[in-house]
Amino acid sequence: MERLQKILAQAGVASRRKCEELITQGRVKVNGTVTTELGTKVDPQNDAILVDDKPIHLEKLIYLMLHKPTGVITSLHDPQGRRVVTDLLTDIPERVYPVGRLDYDTSGLLLLTNDGELANRIAHPSFEIDKVYRAWVKGTPSKEAVKKLATGIRLEDGMTSPGEARVIEQEAQRTLLEITIHEGRNRQVRRMCEAIGHPVLTLERIRLGFLTLAGVKRGEYRHLTKEEVERLKREVVQKTL
């Protein structure tokens, strides 16, 4: 027996919080009866659960790590007909969704899953999951500029949260930076680098929390191990928003 809102989130209906709203709005039925009480325990194998009079479908939970190449959209479909990340999943029958996003021209580590609750918590900045990027930027940033990347930069949508930044390598016309953030704003790393006057030339996410791209070639993916999934859940699911 599990709480109703948890079962709805695991079925991919919506985030846990949104599922709670669906319940209190009277849009969920269990065995033909409208259920509005949060925390109601149900048996997903034996109870008939409907949302807006449509049955939910419990799929096997899938957790994938993709090494996203550039030139691929982090979406399930693209009106312009460009490749999307799910085009790279050649033998996954379940419908999975990207956790957060990587820009069209950004490569690196991307998680995909049909576990809605875990996905929403990983993406939520409250849990401060490290998102580590390697960025080749134009020119040579000063020590003060690199420090600003770490302590916070004012963008048009507000100050960025503190993170980390360091120089990895320097060449005549460009510099390789490693930048760690906890947020997931649109094109955040690129905008941060533009704000210090050193626009990004190439950008790759190399780590998400404890997960790295080790052993996963660009354009390929692998299933997370049971131990990795359990560790992710320990780090985010057991905390409270």
Cite the active site residues. 103
What sign has the CA pseudo-torsion 113, 115, 116, 121? negative
Token pair listed for 19: 């599922």
Give the pairing type, strands 28-30 and 49-51.
Answer: antiparallel
Query: At 112, which helix (H) or strand (E)?
Result: strand 107-113
Tell me if residue 123 falls in helix, strand or coil: helix
Kindly provide the residue ranges of all beta strands, DSSP E only, lying in the chain, ordered along the sequence.
Answer: 2-3, 28-30, 33-34, 41-42, 49-51, 54-55, 63-68, 97-98, 107-113, 131-138, 154-155, 158-159, 164-170, 174-181, 200-208, 211-212, 221-223
